Amino acid sequence: MKSWGLALLVLVFIQKQGIFQQVEAADGFVKASGLHFVLNGLPYHANGFNAYWLLYVASDPSQRSKVSSAFSEAASHGLTIARTWAFSDGGYRPLQYSPGSYNEQVFQGLDFVISEAGKYRIKLVLSLANNYENFGGKKQYVDWGRSQGQYLTSDDDFFRNSVVKGFYKNHIKTVLTRRNSITGVVYKDDPTIMAWELMNEPRCTSDPSGRTIQAWITEMASYLKSIDGNHLLEAGLEGFYGQASQQKQQYNPNFQVGTDFIENNQIPGIDFATVHSYPDQWFSSSSYEAQLSFLHDWLNNHIQDAQNILRKPLLFTEFGKSSKTSGYSTYQRDLVFNTVYSAIYSSARSGGAAVGGLFWQLLTEGMDSFRDGYEIVFSESPSTANVISQESHKLYLLRRMYARLRNIQKWKRARAIRRAQWLNRNKGKNTGN
């Protein structure tokens, strides 16, 4: 009876929203329709993971089995979205040696990542740049600008200087128009890619007003969409409220980074909102209970804002619990995961804006150098693996229910058409005795 009650609730919601009628193309691309992702005509809710290292590892052909193992293990736990880097700027084994100069061997590593994800039916969110120095980041772009005679005083000039912005735009174009050396499919035409991300955690602390980031996202979203109309786009935001949303700043950790969850995500080219959740970092001196209380409010405030203000889907693109924190236990980590997953599922089953969550980060065995405290190795973490699998299964059942309800709607429409045709054929005939 419980499942039928939920089905009835969802059916009423579907009829109000007209979800099935809005996006029907079965082309394999994930689309946004109102508050929801839609895949092949059905609302799409999915559980996923971060694995920033995929490009780096895959660029060494002898290590590619680790990529395959990660996708295989993820798929076996019901995970269907992976977020990873489509950048490595300057430094050791780069994708981009210098502006416009690319390392073909590393690019072939990204080709492999995309090809392998497709084999395991895992959709990708590909980030195009980093706010931080890891793998180059905005600092590398600014250094390139200085080497070409630009007078730049801050790494935040990445968002302002026209020459540096030109370097970044060229990277967007190069990646989006890349033809995969394995599949032969151009990236912008590949449905394995679910979405592009402009930057991992963009921050511009030199302009707390938020105007710099707002202008940059607006410009870059428009440019990217002019090249690729197939894929979704998100900005890479952490979810902080800025000066444009002063009444909501009370929900922030106690710092400003020049972004605004509401204003930035209202930009037309941004298809869905993102949130990162790290109360163990943001409130490292607070108790675990206080961190968990903040997390609960952080999740639900953003779900409500995505639903009622943005009217766009919301994907929780990073969350986790570090094993390096004082007093850490697996129980604490599992409770963090369950808190995030419960908020997502509660929203999803009632037709809300939350569409999924991606934990940070998945590793496979033999990757000790990539450990950062947040890593999940399934073979080492059976209780957390079980929590993850349960969420995947619940979202899978929700999708199956949508499929059944769509079939019911199709049957009703077909019956109505047949009845109308019968009435039309028998119009004016005496069918009674």
251 contacts: CB under 8 Å, gap ≥ 6? 241, 297, 298, 301
Whether 238 sits among the annotated catalytic residues: the reply is no
- Asked if 13 and 352 count as a contact pair (C-beta separation under 8 A), the reply is no
Whether 391 sits among the annotated catalytic residues: the reply is no
How many angstroms separate the CA atoms of 40 and 17, rounded? 17
- Asked if 82 and 118 count as a contact pair (C-beta separation under 8 A), the reply is no
Specify the amino acid at residue 332.
Q
User: Per the residue annotation, which of 73, 197, 238, 318 is the catalytic one?
Assistant: 318
User: Per the residue annotation, which of 73, 116, 197, 201 is the catalytic one?
Assistant: 201
Chain centroid to Cα 32, Å, comes to 12
Chain centroid to Cα 73, Å, comes to 20
Chain centroid to Cα 430, Å, comes to 61
| φ/ψ (deg, to 5) at 314 | -130, 125
Q: What is the set of active-site residues?
A: 201, 318
